[in-house]
Structure 1
Amino acid sequence: MATNENRQRKASRYVVPVAVAGVAAATIGLVPALAASGDPDLPQITAQQLIEKIAASDTQTLSGTFRISTDLGLPSFAGLLSGAGAGAGSGASSADPADKLTQLVSGSHTLRLAADGPERQKLTLVDGSDEYSLIHNGDDVWAYDSKSNEVFHEKTDGGRGEKKGEKGVPGTPKELADEVLKAAGDTTSITVGGTAKVAGRDAYQLVIKPKQSGSTVESVKIAVDAGTGTPLKFTLNSVSGGKPVVDAGFTKIDFSKPDASAFAFKAPKGAKVTEGTEGAEGGEGGLAGDKGGAHDQLPKGLEGALGDFGLGGAAGADGKGGFNVIGEGWTTIAKLDSGAPAPKTDEAPKEVQGFLDALGDKVSGKFGSGTVFKTKIVNALMTDDGRVYVGAVTPQALVDAANAGK
């Protein structure tokens, strides 16, 4: 039923939260899968049939090992965090998922996963001899950081793995695939790009590419289990080349039901336990998530982009303290007018100034002058008079929008 599907989708946010820009998908190609040398020889299938296979997948139970690598093309955060004290003295728990899981937006990480329907999931982030575990079991979410021996506990909304007023972010390969496939239009090519072995399973490769020029997205690839229709791997590539922006997938997977003991948790002796704020409107004080409002009005291709640039306070889509939407599909741009001059980076602390200088390029044009802050996917142009243009588009596309006075 639709209700159960929604609950499963929301609950799965606790499995592998990652920060990526959402992308819109559209025209479904009819190119069948053709196996290359060394790849599994599977029956031919069209993109339409493969998407239907994903939609029909009803995987409720699994366990396995998951590997995620992210490369946003950002300079190192090390000096920035050191100079800022990395939140020292804030009183927050080191086990709070809102802070701990931000590690997944850079570098490579190994996780162990287990899931038993929408009510029970467990993630363990392995870092050498240290482990960080996040467990959702019915009405409770527990997080434990072995390095600090701290525990974070929070109640969920009716056992659905979601705080009231909070919106989840895509996490598992299936959720990432859902975000890509849930929109339709004429801006995208979707084909089947052969077959592959993923976590010892035979899989088809679904390939999504923009038809529009100006997007920073080169392709999205989703490896789909040939037997169950479960997405096993998600890869997001940038037009800038190099390593994938996101390469997230299983290295080992078992679809049998995990033992109930896998989701049981008791705070270790001597551990510091911090209780999260329950039912805060907009998700404040809880696990990381959208706070509603302007983000809900953004086109699918830009959901999460404002948050990535610290612009979560936009108030609406009317241009009055909020944002205007420019373009469509993969080249959508959000324009915000802060009404205030852009901050001067030379007035920032030394560590922050170095980070911003590495991240930004000075640009000028008919619009005046400003700075483009770059990643491999989401870019933002901040003009000196306080306008901000943000999108999963090239810096030149942002400059062109600003020059056009849009």
Structure 2
Amino acid sequence: MSQTDTQRQLAALGGAPLAGNIVPLGQHYFPDWHAYEAAFRDIFDRQYYTNHGPLAQRLEAALAEYCGVRHAMCTTNAEIALVLAAQAMGLHGKVVVSALAHAWTAQSLLWADCEPLFCDVDPATGGLDAAMLETILREDKPVAILALNAWGSADDVSALREMADRYHVPLYFDSTQSFGALAAGRRLGGNGAMEVFSLHSDNVLSAGEGGVICTNDDALAAHIRNIRSNYGMGSVIVPVVKTSNGRLSEAQAAIALHNLERMAAHLAHNRSLRDAYAAALRDVPGVALWQAGRSAEPTNQNILLRVDEAVFGLCADELAHVLRAENIGAQIVPSWLRAPIYADASRRRCADEAEAERLASRLLQLPAGARVTEALAAGIARVIAAAQLQAGAVRAARQAG
């Protein structure tokens, strides 16, 4: 990296931004216009827009094959999928949730009349802290564990399964950000009682919006379908206490089918972006790419940069400010530990200064996906290098106003 690159005037200090338009953080993989138009003409010709139509059925079959599971059931969005999963399992009481879980994860339990109980994380991996989890299982007697596979990666699913079995507690997974990731050489989808994925546009597999529930349990699948579809009218009728309308539309299914065919290309592109960031940031002090999980092969959907403020000169939030001024949609990993849903002491095993909060404050999400090229990733890395050399000026300018 040349001296000119690192001495360029940052936009945060009055210079011109790196990008003319805002580069989004998420994936934004969508069909090309001709494929999109053809799919929608087909939908309009059939005049079949929702209610588990032929495209939704095709998508569910393709997702089940891709994940290697018996059942894949699509929903309007991932939060509804998590609610349906808790209801199908008949959960009532406290459910263990990662302190790094998104707000939607905890909210899904409240909608299902359960109580989230937040467990701290291992700062090295972002996975559930094993010692705290065991204490919770022994002392709080939760009715289930809702584990988190986040950032396109995975927790140690084998260790979680062993602990859940030892305490005879059901285990299921919020894998909303990790469709396509591998854990111990196997694609996510068949771990625990169920796994839930998101098909939102900022995920590597997108339907624009949507969710997927995967399971190998026939009885749970029948319950999900009866809760989800047309007020109890599933293919196999089983009695359910609550019903809803959480079906995926044909329009969403068409987008997801197109993107599923291109998953390998999308994953390869994300891998190339991570490599480009890693190469360009190799000699920048105080920052390094960080990956969650121990045994996972990630999708690189979320490329995370760990920032050591003492060495770099800026904290992750200050670096995010620098990048946003360059029209680069970077952000720190959100921590929800100060949110009202976490405030009730009965819902927390975490201390006020939890490892989850410390880890989140040091992690910066860098843009990936369809709108990012290797050249742009290298350009973002040059901005980061310049920010490190001009850290004092950046901090002073931000404090001044």
Q: TM-score, normalised by structure 2?
A: 0.28
Which structure shows the bigger proportion of residues in helix conformation? 2
Which structure shows the bigger proportion of residues in strand conformation? 1
Q: TM-score, normalised by structure 1?
A: 0.28
